[in-house]
Structure 1
């Protein structure tokens, strides 16, 4: 994976992040979701490098080989604001003043927070398989509870850790090496068997229902929008559109310039449809 990329550890203050980066051209940063690592982009990143971009793929704090501070009562150490600050410091460390950012799943909430908090840095945003956390929760009906039950289970104290760590590979039984690729699978499988990673991933969800939701609601109350162009993409074979209907209508109040589209894939589009995803990102970012 990531042939020709540099693989380094970057100290961002509260955490040390594993960061892969390579290429030469306009910088873009790709942020993974749960329970993945930066390796989820191993098929997309080389395509973007070939298209002329510099590509940065960190493991978010607490995920993969990145560290995280101990949990706090308010879960603020796992907030999307804290994670977005990490990404901004990584990009500063690498010498990138402005950049595009794409986030998938949990990484999309970090990407959104980065774009809202650092409009001077983010020149383009792509949010993949998501709507804002507060928008999900505002629409939480019985169908949503059945589909996203894990959000509410993961928010409980202690029980999720015990359930997952009893047999992590059974819990994450959907990790298929044929679909992920052997090296990506090995990296994720190793990560989810580490108690510190499991705890950090759960803290991500706990922060989502509390501090992250509050931060988003404060943004809406203040009338803040993403200042840069935003691309919203979602997977045809996932349930986002089935649950929430008109996805662009949800994103429009959050954005100033919005484009959108569907990817013919399951939820993990970077692994299922890398060529299609890379082409959509390249097309959107080429003029940014």
Structure 2
């Protein structure tokens, strides 16, 4: 995986007030050109990007960490308010990592739970984030505000994962059966990295803490942003998978995001949920078009055309 990339564990020291421990992130980085940070979702590791990252590395410096709590990155003890696993804490890790690597300003693309970290980073560090792309995501508080029986049935895991202790016991009884996944679709090396993660009790508990932070500290932070009128100031690209259920749950995904940002471009990817594994070339094309607009932008230049693709049937 990741030919020509460097793999290392970076000690970032203490990145925020949520925990007194030092933060160490496993990260893979490579390529050259303007930097772009890729943030994976649950329950993946940075290995999910192994097909996408080399495509972007032709004209970008690509940085792919394991998020706090995931893969081989730090798993600090939690607290009653779950703040050590808030998206703010994870975003601080990512900002410290990019500065450690010499990138003061950068673009970021997050998928699934990584999208939540990505938009929190754009809200908390607007001077650092030049462009934000999110995949299969709307803000956590928007999900919860719209929660109905349909959402609860389709995304029941949000509520189950928030329960203390029981999810760990259920998942660790048979992690492969719980999380599924396909070696053929993921690639053998990425599959092995994923299997190590989901069979590690400390990683499973930390990944669940990510979800426990969602309806508590993360929601509170987002509601505080809305009350204060804080918005995402950089251009935003919103992508969702045609054969996943986000588009079915929310007919106006771009409209939801325009409640958070002024400059929103939207499109779909012809894939199931794990778009970087299933449709890396299409995803790379959408991201490169979005990122290239920043490099080519001049006064009076027009905005890039929306990245749109025919919608297909939705799978389970």
Q: TM over 0.5: same fold? A: yes
Report what 2:247 is aligned to: 241
Q: Is the 8 A contact 1:16 1:68 kept in 2?
A: no
Structure 1 residue 178, shift from structure 2 partner: 0.6
Q: Flag the structure with larger Rg.
A: 2
Distance 1:161 1:134 in 2: 25
Q: Deviations over 1:9-33 (max 9, x none)?
A: 1112242100000011000000000
Q: Confirm whether residue 194 of structure 1 aligns to residue 197 of structure 2.
A: no
Q: Could you say what secondary structure the match of 2:234 adopts? A: strand
Residues 4-15 of structure 1: matches in 2 within 5 Å? 4-12=4-12, 13=14, 14-15=22-23
Q: Equivalent residue for 1:98?
A: 105
For structure 1, the 5+ residue unaligned runs are none
Q: After the TM superposition, which segments of 4 or more aligned residues of structure 1 sit over 6 Å from their partners?
A: none
Shift of 1:64: 0.6
Distance 1:193 1:261 in 2: 35
Alignment partner for residue 291 of structure 2, among 273, 282, 285?
Answer: 285
1:15-30 paired onto structure 2 within 5 Å: 15-30=23-38
Pick from 204, 220, 231 the counterpart of residue 210 of structure 2: 204
The alignment of Structure 1 onto Structure 2 pairs a total of residues equal to: 286
Report the equivalent of 2:301: none
Alignment check: 8 A CA contact 1:61 1:68 kept: yes
Greater fraction helix: 1
Q: 1:244: Cα distance to partner?
A: 1.2
1:250-269 alignment, distance < 5 Å = 250-269=256-275
| Cα distance in 2 between the residues matched to 1:259 and 1:121 | 20
Is structure 2 residue 142 aligned with structure 1 residue 143?
A: no
What's 2:221 paired with? 215
Distance 1:53 1:170 in 2: 37
Distance 2:53 2:162 in 1: 32
Q: 1:287 Cα shift? A: 2.5
CA distance in 2, matches of 1:253, 1:112: 13
Task: Provide the rounded CA distance (Å) in 1 between the counterparts of 2:242 and 2:174.
Answer: 31
Does structure 2 retain, via aligned residues, the 8 Å contact 1:179–1:272? yes
**CA distance in structure 1 between the aligned counterparts of 2:99 and 2:293, rounded to whole angstroms:** 22
Alignment partner of 2:259: what SS?
Answer: helix
The Cα shift of 1:245 comes to: 1.0
The 2-side partners of 1:80 and 1:249 are apart by 23
Residue number among 66, 81, 89 corresponding to 1:59 in the alignment: 66
Is 1:76 aligned to residue 83 of structure 2? yes
Q: Secondary structure at the match of 2:108?
A: strand
Q: Which has the higher contact order (CA 8 A, sep 6+)?
A: 1
Q: TM-score normalised to the size of structure 2?
A: 0.90
Unaligned 5+ runs, structure 2: 15-21, 295-316
Inter-partner Cα distance in structure 2 for 1:148 and 1:88: 30
Please report how far the alpha carbon of residue 256 of structure 1 lies from its aligned counterpart in structure 2 after TM superposition.
Answer: 2.0
- Are 2:147 and 1:133 aligned? no
Q: 1:268 Cα shift? A: 0.4
Q: SS of 1:267's equivalent? A: coil
Give the secondary structure class of the aligned counterpart of 1:17.
strand
CA deviations on 1:142-168 (whole Å, 9 max, x unpaired) are 000001100000000010011111111
